[in-house]
Structure 1
C-alpha cells in the first residue's frame, strides 16, 4: 500500500480515539464489544504466529456467542 504524505491509517488510531470520534459525529456512542488477542510480537508479514493461530478457536467461539446474544436481544424486542 502507498500512503499520501500526511494521511493516517485506521491502524494508527487507538480504539478510544475512534470511539470519541464516533461520539462527536453521532452524539451517541454505540455499544462496543472488543475481542482481541495480544500478540507476542509485532512485525512484518502475513502469517499468524503459532500463539495467535492457537487462540483462533476461542476467538471464534467468543464472536459466535456475541452474535447469538445480539440476535437473542433483537428477537425479544
Structure 2
C-alpha cells in the first residue's frame, strides 16, 4: 500500500453543496480536527493550498488523529 502524502481536500464553492445542519446517523455533526502527517517539503505547499484550521500538519505519514464533534441528543 502506498503512503498518503497529500490530504484529500474539498474546495469551497460559491453555492455550498453540503446539506445544512446535517447530522450523520452515527451522531457526528462535523470533523473538528484532522492531524495529517506528510513529508516536510510538502507542508508549505499544502498550507498554501488550504488555510482550513481543521487540518493540522506534521512530519510523518498519513492520518494520526481525527476528532469529531457530536450532536447533542
Tell which has more relative contact order, 1 or 2 (C-alpha 8 A, sep 6+). Answer: 2
Structure with the larger strand share? 2
Normalised to the residue count of structure 1, the TM-score between the two structures is 0.26
Determine which structure has the larger helix proportion and give its number. 1
TM-score by length of 2: 0.26
For the pair shown, the structure with the greater C-alpha radius of gyration is: 1
